[in-house]
Structure 1
Amino acid sequence: MTDAIDRAAGLAPGDALHALRRLRPEFVDGAELCRVSVLTPASDQGLSPDLRAALARRMALQNADPSLADPYGGADPELRRLAEGETDLPEPLASIAAHVDLVTQTPAKAAAESLRRLERAGLTNPQIVALSELIAYVNFQARIAAGLRLMKEAR
């Protein structure tokens, strides 16, 4: 069986790195459970799965990872614009996009003011936490996939 990180890294059953990841199945299973919980949680806190997928695509593209971006997106035209990196968006999408971009591209510059902007745009504390979880997971996923691709190339 493959998971989203395997697919993004181009790993398949029978590959040495695929087998190596399975030496720590709790990490493989945990990463997949985390992916499901941040993209399609039981309670979405008002951040729809389509919005979450659009944001995941946006972050994957910012990480220069089209293979990771492929499964994410959506049919809604406004969310497609968000997913493709546009910034001229209505609120609260503009503030959400600015925050996602800041944390993805320059996390050291993230500060309390970025969170205040989300609050002014109408996001609640639970929504901000859910957004933070999504940002953390997608950027983690991008880094793991990139590292696995490098390891695969080095073999």
Structure 2
Amino acid sequence: MQIRKISEDDSENYIELCKRLDRETKFMMLEPDERTANVQQQRNAINSLLAAGNSMVFVAEDDGNLVGYLGAYGGEFRRNKHKVYIVIGILQEHAGKGIGTALFTHTEKWARQIGVRRLELTVMVHNEAGLALYKKVGFTIEGTARNSMLVDGKYVDEYYMAKILS
């Protein structure tokens, strides 16, 4: 297992990873038919992300295949450049193997190096595995967003969670 920064060469495999995650779990933002980016659009998005300086995607690679990722998306303005919003996805067959912890470890090291002060994320309140991981790596619940997501025709609450880096 290798954790590394994404590159534009990962574009096609990253799209496939994200599409597979969209099919496997209802905890991701997009439904299976919503992801429409083609390889060139994804390549452009990766290049823009890498050029931003305060955003990054780390990928988990196993035997040449992408099996998970953690996206850290930094603020765009002076008042919020110190924080990044986290999105993570790990294929179900690779869950529980320490990949999530490793992705967070790499992300936190990178964040500290570039002067990030706050990591934040949202998680559906019934996502027990996600909640356990986030608490394990030091995130705390700051609040609840009621009826925040619409999943299978039902409204779902989300927790707002954060970790302050000192």
| TM-score in terms of structure 2 length | 0.27
More helix by share: 1
| TM-score in terms of structure 1 length | 0.28
